Amino acid sequence: MKLCVIGGGSTYSPELLSGLAEKKKEIPIKEVVLLDIDAERLNDVGEFAQRMMAHLAPEIKLSYTLDKEAALKDADFVVTQIRVGHQQARHDDTKFCVEHGVIGQETTGAAGFAKAMRTIPVLLDYAKDMKTLCPNAWLINFTNPSGIVTEALLRYGWEKTIGLCNGPVGMQMNVAHQVGVPVRDVQMDYVGLNHLGWVRKIIIRGEDRTKEILEKFSPYTATNIPDLDYDPTFYHALSTLPNGYLKYYYLQEEMLEELKNQKKTRAQVVMEVEEELLKYYRDPNQYEKPAALSKRGGAYYSHVALSLIAAIYNDKNEVHIVNTLNNGALKDLADDAAIEIPCVVNSSGAHPLAAGHVDLSFRGLMQHVKAYEQLTVEAAVTASYNRALLALVNHPLVNSEKKAKVLLDYFISRHNLQLK
Amino acid sequence: MKLCVIGGGSTYSPELLSGLAEKKKEIPIKEVVLLDIDAERLNDVGEFAQRMMAHLAPEIKLSYTLDKEAALKDADFVVTQIRVGHQQARHDDTKFCVEHGVIGQETTGAAGFAKAMRTIPVLLDYAKDMKTLCPNAWLINFTNPSGIVTEALLRYGWEKTIGLCNGPVGMQMNVAHQVGVPVRDVQMDYVGLNHLGWVRKIIIRGEDRTKEILEKFSPYTATNIPDLDYDPTFYHALSTLPNGYLKYYYLQEEMLEELKNQKKTRAQVVMEVEEELLKYYRDPNQYEKPAALSKRGGAYYSHVALSLIAAIYNDKNEVHIVNTLNNGALKDLADDAAIEIPCVVNSSGAHPLAAGHVDLSFRGLMQHVKAYEQLTVEAAVTASYNRALLALVNHPLVNSEKKAKVLLDYFISRHNLQLK
Amino acid sequence: MKLCVIGGGSTYSPELLSGLAEKKKEIPIKEVVLLDIDAERLNDVGEFAQRMMAHLAPEIKLSYTLDKEAALKDADFVVTQIRVGHQQARHDDTKFCVEHGVIGQETTGAAGFAKAMRTIPVLLDYAKDMKTLCPNAWLINFTNPSGIVTEALLRYGWEKTIGLCNGPVGMQMNVAHQVGVPVRDVQMDYVGLNHLGWVRKIIIRGEDRTKEILEKFSPYTATNIPDLDYDPTFYHALSTLPNGYLKYYYLQEEMLEELKNQKKTRAQVVMEVEEELLKYYRDPNQYEKPAALSKRGGAYYSHVALSLIAAIYNDKNEVHIVNTLNNGALKDLADDAAIEIPCVVNSSGAHPLAAGHVDLSFRGLMQHVKAYEQLTVEAAVTASYNRALLALVNHPLVNSEKKAKVLLDYFISRHNLQLK
Amino acid sequence: MKLCVIGGGSTYSPELLSGLAEKKKEIPIKEVVLLDIDAERLNDVGEFAQRMMAHLAPEIKLSYTLDKEAALKDADFVVTQIRVGHQQARHDDTKFCVEHGVIGQETTGAAGFAKAMRTIPVLLDYAKDMKTLCPNAWLINFTNPSGIVTEALLRYGWEKTIGLCNGPVGMQMNVAHQVGVPVRDVQMDYVGLNHLGWVRKIIIRGEDRTKEILEKFSPYTATNIPDLDYDPTFYHALSTLPNGYLKYYYLQEEMLEELKNQKKTRAQVVMEVEEELLKYYRDPNQYEKPAALSKRGGAYYSHVALSLIAAIYNDKNEVHIVNTLNNGALKDLADDAAIEIPCVVNSSGAHPLAAGHVDLSFRGLMQHVKAYEQLTVEAAVTASYNRALLALVNHPLVNSEKKAKVLLDYFISRHNLQLK
């Protein structure tokens, strides 16, 4: 069993690898290859990872390489965690957006569009290679914006793709923690899109405790999201548990103010953390997972990814909340839309549970954002300027077609997007 | 054949009546009753109308009354054109919205929500009376926001309701005028909601001329909408002819600026026109339709309403673009949503043509606005504070749940809405 | 304006042509070409037709030819009325079916499958020629089984196809006649498939008179269908007006008995009529439409076809019940299913009215037959033995997979079908 | 934890109880009550069951009673296994059907309609009692026709109903046995209705082995179904694994012949087995489960029911193939249709996996039978003669409306059905 990590030079790789070492009984991986295009960073991370794994799981063969072919050849699982343009692109995009009065955030905001546009062609290229190198591999997509990227892969590149996010598990863990029960006792009736989900019901050991939990506890918000509070009247009226990223929609104006007032962009914060991490990795005496990794973001990502791989490998029929094609599960969205939804995961993949119609209280926003996402996928796949413009015009956080054009033209020139 | 006009004291009634006089051969109406609750205005308008009709169509018996029962008794057609709270309410609502940084516009904007909330209960009350007084009557709804009000009537009050707007006909006439063909030669594949429609295709005598028309001519915008231009790149990318009210969405920021800079609200302008009209009506020497009526807005309304009545009465199987229940015609919206769509109109009502799926370029916005509209209907019908708040939160022109609450609380106190 | 009749050698052509002569003001056709592959019959029919038209409408140029290219070149309308294998094939198929205990009837019965299988490839070939010869022509499909053939053309050959049947108009005329009103006053809410439709509501001048009509009058049955009566209890329970061909389903056993007892097949009867007609046509002194044509079947076909052409040509926006793609009009069938449904017909074609869900009382049978039809289309288009077998297995009148195979193997050998 | 068995006097109860004893660790049931209306049989079965359980699981309190209130009071699970009219009704119904040339079979055949009609009202009555006696109980429906009865309960009586059948597990076990793998390794993509399902894909440890299995092995058929073989050509063309009961449809004529030639009805065979069993139960020395039980039919039923109860009680998130409301899982059927489908079962019930559209090769039959089923549910709930007649007319095994009426009138008089 072989695992290939595309974007293996990420400072985050050691987190994934240490998780793998912990689960080595359940997931009997023999070989891991870190693949990247940044030789220097790959060397730093790869050398450290080898030291670390030599201690934790010497039976797993760990290598790193710039050679796509060697890395992908006969892989059983391929994990993608790339960042085209690095943190600098993220910084520039989000800053430009905020300067023009638009929430830029790199997944939910307008910068998510830019990230999708520069990422999708790269991943579709890898998918093309995989057709001959590892035709049976599962592709676990970590790369943001995860919903959009996953949809592009599922529809245009790799059928056996499953898109991941740590959000749903974060929410589940938060509820479990607050209520004081084990995580596996918390059933969440979660529906929606990546970074745009709502929990309709929380069942704990057969009992519907949604109302009580909404009243007593505050919702989980990832550390990278400015921590503004909802008005309790609204929160009560909504009567579902919202994904943390929904604050960018429900508090659009307030979040924009917040972002305008931030001294550093999130990209700048992460760049500093990464510098610290790389310095640590370069130290030949270090072989333990650094504490600073927790500041890097992506809590539970390693856990989420490896549980998923374990469920597939061991044909577990476990329920995971992942991104996959709708195929009728959510009646308010098209069949070919990627959605984030509870799925039975087993050796033949992720099978969504039927979720019917969703309440009017969030149906429209979900449909609107999905239209933006699907236009983005189309734009990226067909390299169409018009569809790209319509994508941004349809983004609920971009409130003017003229501004959409300003942003698009900037993204095109900044990232050298080839649209026609 | 009897026609009752609810809100017959409107300064606009003479327009409707003069149209009726012109069509008297096709629509053999014997009796028209103007019903209102404002005695003074009703008297002024009613007296003038009687003088006018004595000249134009003495065979039609025209009366006016405050007595609901007498007015509705045995009516065959009931036209509604009420304005709960008068222009003053419109003025206050739209002003408050703009002061709080939200487009207030009384149909498409947040003030449309307020207008719906105070109008729906009143019309549902009339519908209740109609059950015994004129159980077979057709209700032609002129009252704005026409889409929302029509949906409320169709679902909760009066099955035989058809909602009207002059917008589609205005677009059709504009195209005919620009291309230089008779109006009836212009087939428009119009889909969407009231004040939120898109023409997908323009067929003239069997030829699809959409592309050419979009390239050569500028789109029609009603006189009451600030006349900002779209960026040609966007207009080209959209590749459908948009309803004029869509500018509030596609140019949200620019339109808001425009509204902030207006010296008078639209309500104030109309109030001045109405004063002038009422003064004219009160002059016992006048009996001709005043020229000033053209400033009142609502071009073609009389034409639109009477053509519809003629099509029903004469079982004409004509195609009209009206508001009715979806029932599957638009696959991207729920069956119970009121939509604005080409319908075959005959003696059994308006039957929508199947329109399939709409393109992603406007699907999401249409679905988002419809969710807002349906939440508004629910809120009005159940008098629910929570659903009202969620309606405003879901309005794409209200960009913060906190602001939604500020608006809602203002509307409640200004209009004494009874929500729980 | 040019009309081409594929299968113009049909003894029925004079009916169509005499209708054309009557409507020549409304349909200003300059040229008609009869195209056929049977030189002798074409000559007989063509010569007679020329004599007839010289009297009725000398301004219309009428010719006949075996030359596909000349016939189709620049046609505006193409009417298809072919019969691959002639009446002999019909005779053999229906006889074989009945001998094996299966209703063979050439549209609704198992012989309809065979007719579709040998007809679809031929018509798709013509459609291919039309792409270059007359790319803008409307194709009016008369050829049975009209629903299946029309679906094949719409999906795989010619987008501008409209499928016709005289059934719905026959029902409408029958109702008008019985009730004593003009035909145009009879609105029928007809839904379903060709030869498998139900009238849910009959509205006469705005009044729903369905119940009364069902109680008072017996349903219309075409002359070629054995005239068995429904049990009144069932007819009352059904509470819709059924297309005459539904007797083959609702009285499957009784109709089979009837067919077993017939001395001649319907094909044999028609062959005799045709012989008589051809003899008449060959007489150089004859130039009037023969009385015997009324025995030929297909009452109103000429009327139906020419009204449709007039509606298209004159952009009439008239409602006609025709066969076209569903596209969501009937929610219980797939979008790509051909259905028989009221459509607005104008210069851009036939646009179905939205019909929502149908009642359970006939939903299942309609869906079952449509599955058979779509499998037949697939089988014909892909030349697949397996899909052909599954088509027959899914035919509700074929009650055994083993019998389905016997029939299929016979059809293959009798008509030299090339399946793989 | 308390379990109540409605119809506890069934000779089959000891099978269920012995299963319960085996699973007592996983399902910590404290009390079981057998409820029946047949005092003598209940006494015989109850006394034996007490002896048996005293040996197997003395910690479980087992009682039997005719007192509905005592039996249902505070039950956590209610299992229904009633047979209104006993085997004699089954015998009479199936015999009458076959004598009239219709397959009578008591689930799939026309006698299934009669069984549903006399059973549904009885179970809805129990459901009414449960509202006050055990409002939180899960109802596990064993009673045939399981799909129809379950739909009636879900829609009109008891939301927390799950319908069971041993068929899918039988198929799964058969595949496992033939391929030589453990049952839990066999994933079946099963879709359809009760006794009308198709396995689209068989995945064994991540590998799609459908094609190989269909080629190598013959399909599973329950012992009570005449064992006719499909023609291999058809079986190959179908390319899905059909539920054994589908032979009544695919081999309608052959199965009818088979039934006509049977010397005893299945009811008579079962009556003999039951007599033998009751004699054994009455012997006060017996306390072991009798070998003859295996002849009684219903293999795996005990296993299926208890696994389901264990999954609910222990919040297992296990996949079971059960009958529940569609709610969009199968796009080709209505949301309110009961379907048989893989579900995630946990403490909040059975949650179907989204299954999308099914292939044309069986879509139509599935829809047709479901229409019959839903008409039957309607007929039973509203006691409507017309809907009952339409149900039978829509049954694909009843090939004449006249025959449908003959059957219906017989069922009404034989079972004293009160229809209007």
Q: Nearest to residue B221, comparing CAs of B253, B250, B201?
A: B250
pLDDT digits (tens, 9 = 90+) for B279-303: 999 999 999 999 888 777 666 888 9
Q: Which residues of D touch C363 (CB under 8 A)?
A: 367, 371
pLDDT at D227: 84
For residue C82, give how far its alpha carbon lies from the nearest alpha carbon of chain B (Å).
Answer: 28
Whether residue D368 and residue C372 make contact (CB cut-off 8 A), yes or no, is no
pLDDT digits (tens, 9 = 90+) for D117-161: 999 999 999 999 999 999 999 999 999 999 999 999 999 999 999
- Please give the residue of chain D at the shortest CA–CA distance from A203: D348
CA B39 – CA B243 distance, rounded (Å): 37
CA A3 – CA A19 distance, rounded (Å): 13
Catalytically annotated residue among D64, D245, D248, D313: D245
CATH fold, domain C2-163, is: Rossmann fold (3.40.50)
Catalytically annotated residue among C245, C280, C281, C301: C245
Of A201, A328, A348, the CB nearest to D328: A328
The chain B residues in contact with chain C (CB within 8 A) are: 185, 187, 201, 203, 205-208, 312, 315, 317-319, 326-329, 331, 335, 342, 344, 346-348, 351-357
What does the H/E/C string look like for chain D? CEEEEECCCCCCHHHHHHHHHHCCCCCCCCEEEEECCCHHHHHHHHHHHHHHHHHHCCCCEEEEECCHHHHHCCCCEEEECCCCCHHHHHHHHHHHHHHCCCCCCCCCCHHHHHHHHHHHHHHHHHHHHHHHHCCCCEEEECCCCHHHHHHHHHHHCCCCEEECCCHHHHHHHHHHHHHCCCHHHEEEEEEEECCEEEEEEEEECCEECHHHHHHHCCCCCCCCCCCCCCCHHHHHHHCCEECHHHHHHHCHHHHHHHHHHCCCCHHHHHHHHHHHHHHHHHCCCCCCCCHHHHHHCCCCHHHHHHHHHHHHHCCCCEEEEEEEECCCCECCCCCCCEEEEEEEEECCEEEEECCECCCHHHHHHHHHHHHHHHHHHHHHHHCCHHHHHHHHHCCCCCCCHHHHHHHHHHHHHHHCCCCC
- Please give the residue of chain A at the shortest CA–CA distance from D209: A348
For residue B291, give how far its alpha carbon lies from the nearest alpha carbon of chain A (Å).
Answer: 38
Whether residue C231 and residue D369 make contact (CB cut-off 8 A), yes or no, is no
Whether residue C236 and residue D386 make contact (CB cut-off 8 A), yes or no, is yes
pLDDT at D299: 67
Whether residue B237 and residue A368 make contact (CB cut-off 8 A), yes or no, is no
Q: With the C-alpha atoms ordered B162, B167, B171, B177, is the resulting torsion angle positive or negative?
A: positive
Whether residue D315 and residue A205 make contact (CB cut-off 8 A), yes or no, is yes
The percentage of residues in chain C with a pLDDT greater than 70, rounded to a whole number, is 99
CA C135 – CA C117 distance, rounded (Å): 25
Q: Which residues of A touch B369 (CB under 8 A)?
A: 364
Instruction: List subunits contacting chain A, requiring 3 or more Cβ pairs under 8 Å.
Output: B, D
Question: What is the interface pTM, i.e. ipTM, of the complex?
Answer: 0.96
> C382-401: b or e for each residue (b if 16 or more CB lie within 10 Å)?
eebbbbbbbbbbbbbbbbbb
CB A317 within 8 A of CB D318: yes
The percentage of residues in chain B with a pLDDT greater than 70, rounded to a whole number, is 99
C&D contacts, CB < 8 Å:
126
Residue B169 has pLDDT above 70, yes or no: yes
For residue C311, give how far its alpha carbon lies from the nearest alpha carbon of chain B (Å).
Answer: 11
Whether residue B315 and residue C348 make contact (CB cut-off 8 A), yes or no, is no
Q: Structural domain boundaries of chain D? A: 2-163
For residue D84, give how far its alpha carbon lies from the nearest alpha carbon of chain C (Å).
Answer: 27
User: How does DSSP classify residue C353?
Assistant: B
One pLDDT digit (tens) per residue for chain A, 420 residues: 999 999 999 999 999 999 999 999 999 999 999 999 999 999 999 999 999 999 999 999 999 999 999 999 999 999 999 999 999 999 999 999 999 999 999 999 999 999 999 999 999 999 999 999 999 999 999 999 999 999 999 999 999 999 999 999 999 999 999 999 999 999 999 999 999 999 999 999 989 999 999 998 877 777 778 889 999 999 999 999 999 999 999 999 999 999 999 999 999 999 999 999 999 999 999 999 998 887 776 668 889 999 999 999 999 999 999 999 999 999 999 999 999 999 999 999 999 999 999 999 999 999 999 999 999 999 999 999 999 999 999 999 999 999 999 999 999 999 999 999
Catalytically annotated residue among A12, A190, A245, A249: A245
Of B237, B369, B401, the CB nearest to A390: B237
Enumerate residues 6+ apart whose C-beta is below 8 A from C208.
B348, C201, C202
Residue D224 binned pLDDT confidence (cut-offs 50, 70, 90): confident
The neighbouring-strand residues paired with D31 are: D2, D61
Mean pLDDT of chain D: 96
Helices (H), A134-209: 146-156, 167-179
Mean pLDDT of chain C: 96
pLDDT at D298: 66
Q: Which residues of C touch D361 (CB under 8 A)?
A: 375, 387, 390, 394
Residue D410 CB burial class (10 angstroms; 0-12, 13-18, ≥19): middle
Residue C224 vs residue D7, higher pLDDT: D7
Whether residue A401 and residue B230 make contact (CB cut-off 8 A), yes or no, is yes
Of D318, D329, D355, the CB nearest to A317: D318
Q: Nearest to residue D165, comparing CAs of D303, D34, D270?
A: D303
CB A32 within 8 A of CB A5: yes
Instruction: List subunits contacting chain C, requiring 3 or more Cβ pairs under 8 Å.
Output: B, D
Whether residue C405 and residue D231 make contact (CB cut-off 8 A), yes or no, is yes
Does domain B1-166+245-420 match CATH 1.10.760.10? no
pLDDT at A298: 66
For residue C214, give how far its alpha carbon lies from the nearest alpha carbon of chain B (Å).
Answer: 19
Instruction: List subunits contacting chain B, requiring 3 or more Cβ pairs under 8 Å.
Output: A, C
Q: Which residues of D touch C250 (CB under 8 A)?
A: 393, 400-401
Average the pLDDT over D383-393 and give the result. 98
Contact of chains C and A by CB distance (3 or more pairs under 8 angstroms):
no
CA D60 – CA A293 distance, rounded (Å): 54
- Parallel, antiparallel, or unpaired: how do β-strands C196-204 and A186-193 relate? unpaired
Whether residue A328 and residue D331 make contact (CB cut-off 8 A), yes or no, is yes
Contact of chains D and A by CB distance (3 or more pairs under 8 angstroms):
yes
Reported in sequence order, the residue ranges of A314-391 that DSSP labels E, i.e. its strands, are 318-325, 338-346, 349-352
Q: Which residue has the tokens 């798709």?
A: C124
Is C12 considered catalytic here?
no
For residue A384, give how far its alpha carbon lies from the nearest alpha carbon of chain B (Å).
Answer: 10
A&B contacts, CB < 8 Å:
127
For residue B390, give how far its alpha carbon lies from the nearest alpha carbon of chain A (Å).
Answer: 6
Q: Which residues of C touch B352 (CB under 8 A)?
A: 353-354
Q: How many CB atoms lie within 10 A of CB B272?
A: 13
Whether residue C250 and residue D378 make contact (CB cut-off 8 A), yes or no, is no
What does the H/E/C string look like for B276-311? HHHHHHHCCCCCCCCHHHHHHCCCCHHHHHHHHHHH
Q: Which residues of B touch A361 (CB under 8 A)?
A: 375, 387, 390, 394
Largest interatomic CA distance in chain B: 58
CA C138 – CA C306 distance, rounded (Å): 13
Q: Which residues of C touch D368 (CB under 8 A)?
A: 364-365, 367-368, 396
Report the predicted TM-score, pTM, of the whole model to 2 decimal places.
0.96
pLDDT at B298: 66
- Please give the residue of chain D at the shortest CA–CA distance from A160: D206
Q: Which residues of B touch C185 (CB under 8 A)?
A: 315
CB A1 within 8 A of CB A36: no
pLDDT at A293: 85
pLDDT at D18: 93
Whether residue A403 and residue B364 make contact (CB cut-off 8 A), yes or no, is no
Whether residue A401 and residue B251 make contact (CB cut-off 8 A), yes or no, is yes
Catalytically annotated residue among B245, B281, B301, B313: B245
Please state at what angle helix B360-382 crosses helix B146-156, rounded to 10 degrees. 60
Whether residue C237 and residue D390 make contact (CB cut-off 8 A), yes or no, is yes
pLDDT at B122: 98
Whether residue B399 and residue A399 make contact (CB cut-off 8 A), yes or no, is yes
pLDDT digits (tens, 9 = 90+) for C102-121: 999 999 999 999 999 999 99
CB A145 within 8 A of CB A194: yes
Whether residue B335 and residue C318 make contact (CB cut-off 8 A), yes or no, is no
For residue A337, give how far its alpha carbon lies from the nearest alpha carbon of chain B (Å).
Answer: 12
Q: Which residues of C touch D369 (CB under 8 A)?
A: 364
